Amino acid sequence: QVVLQESGPGLVKPSGTLFLTCNVSGDSVTGTNWWIWVRQPPGKGLEWIGQGHHSDTSSYNPSLQNRVSISVDKSTNQFSLRLTSVTAADTAVYYCARDHFRGYSYGFDAWGRGMLVTVSS
């Protein structure tokens, strides 16, 4: 059974950097899967932030391209999200997830519980 768990600060100051880590158990980040970050502002829908692969390949939402980076750490079996220059609009529940990929996506089939990150001074 795959379990994902987000961790990091729940409060970030405006103009600061948001940094979250997702711990993966029950699967290896070095396989063929992609590792995803999704966020959900309070009362709103889901937004794909981006995804990373252990081959150092990543892809990001164009609306966040200039501020976001995702990295996969083979040594700790974790992956992380870095979002710079945050504003109140970045306040959201942040989810990490697994994109089950075997040359083709079989969907985001495992999710963390989510972590609320508030941007406020």
Partner 1 sequence: EIVLTQSPATLSLSPGERATLSCKASETVSSYLAWYQQKPGQAPRLLIYDASTRATGVPTRFTGRGSGTHFTLTISSLEREDFAVYYCQQRRNWPPGASFGGGSRIEIK
Classify residue 29 by burial, with Cβ atoms within 10 Å: 0-12, 13-18, 19+: buried
Q: Are strands 47-52 and 11-12 parallel, antiparallel or unpaired?
A: unpaired
Give strand pairing partners of 37: 50, 96
Do 8 and 17 form a contact (C-beta atoms < 8 A)? Answer: no
Residues 88-107 touching partner 1, rule: CB under 8 A, are 95, 97, 99, 104-107
| Near partner 1 by CB under 8 A: residue from 46, 82, 87, 118 | 46
| Near partner 1 by CB under 8 A: residue from 21, 47, 71, 73 | 47
Rounded to an integer, what distance in angstroms lies between the CA atom of residue 85 and that of residue 6? 21
Regarding 108 and contact with partner 1 (CB under 8 A), the answer is yes
| Near partner 1 by CB under 8 A: residue from 29, 34, 35, 80 | 34
Least Å from the CB of residue 10 to partner 1: 16
| Near partner 1 by CB under 8 A: residue from 9, 48, 67, 69 | 48
Show the tokens assigned to 23: 């711990």
Show the tokens assigned to 17: 């950097």
| Near partner 1 by CB under 8 A: residue from 57, 76, 85, 87 | 57
The residues that touch partner 1, with contacts defined as CB under 8 A, are 34, 36, 38, 45-48, 51, 53, 57, 59, 61-62, 95, 97, 99, 104-109, 111-114
